[in-house]
Structure 1
């Protein structure tokens, strides 16, 4: 690797990790400032005592105190200033990245909507739905079924009748749950009501209604009334390895990056 290539790689690495580097420098600056302050205080006390003796007074005025002891605390002030600057810089970098991410997500959402509309226009709604279900089932096939499937909160774990409890694969989380068709409908109704009342609903809000665990980024993704007034879903079904039916829950209106 020549020097030019190495320099480019180093710049890219620094750019990618700028917020982490600035955050680390901010912490280091804060610790250094504390150290300087602790070591400067005894020196300042000595200088002030000497000044009192020099002037023959027991108490110094504020101006004399600042003039006498102030220079000792210059390293502390510089360290604190650098720490604050690094903190502000790290926040600024993250804000720019979040803004860029939000813009990229908005463009992707727009492109996806245009593509979906064109597909429906070209092949028809029914055929598009068949393709959508096939894609969902393919996604489901790539998710291994756990040995112990959790029961959705609010669904009785001892109810094993088919019309009451059903195994379901939820597409956003990629997880299986034991639930019921009525519980799913109640959850979706609740999420849609929240969407209309709060003008937004996150993935994790939906998972609360479904009785599922939260996703890591579930508070950043969801739906708002700028793009939809209803979370439209569709169901598919597939036999599991034991020949038992498994319900598949997917979304005709996919979640978007909410950005706040």
Structure 2
């Protein structure tokens, strides 16, 4: 049990608000909340589980905000969401059974590649482009792959969803962001279901941080909907780069 002082509680709430704002636009909210939860004294497993609790609120709020603006049709995406939830749960269940060190070594390289792609690829805007996979094939391949990773490891999943939607599904940047948040919510929810059985999340703290996530996600989704790729692309480049640097730092 952690000794949750008022100062520490306020720090966690502020971190959750910032994470909800950033995550609604470009992903990477766990970069903010997970280190703060561990700084508060939670074990790694408990921090991961509690992070899933509060993260579900932010991703769900962002998904609903984008849907309310007509950027994602929830009725046509429920099958993809179910696949993401199942794959996210599967990744979380196998988190202690699958060696992930090799993936952690190449993950920074992949994230830096994503940052460079969005920084320098010409023509990345809010207009849809030629799709390379049909919606059904995308839902059966890219979605479970990223969702499984989200449950297994987590950091960077939003960036992977984004690049999949842009390069394979042919979505514009804003539309890709909206659909990313829906699948992020689903895979987070599936992962939370599995972590709840073994990770012993701090539910009250997670829900309190979730309320702050809701406020941050509403603000972030509103700004992203108004500004579009001009806001999303730079923030995605920054969050992918910061996440890569953090992973490299952990390995040193």
| Structure possessing the higher radius of gyration over alpha carbons | 1
Q: Which has the higher strand share?
A: 1
Q: Which has the higher helix share?
A: 2
TM range (shorter): under 0.3
* Normalised TM-score (structure 1): 0.25
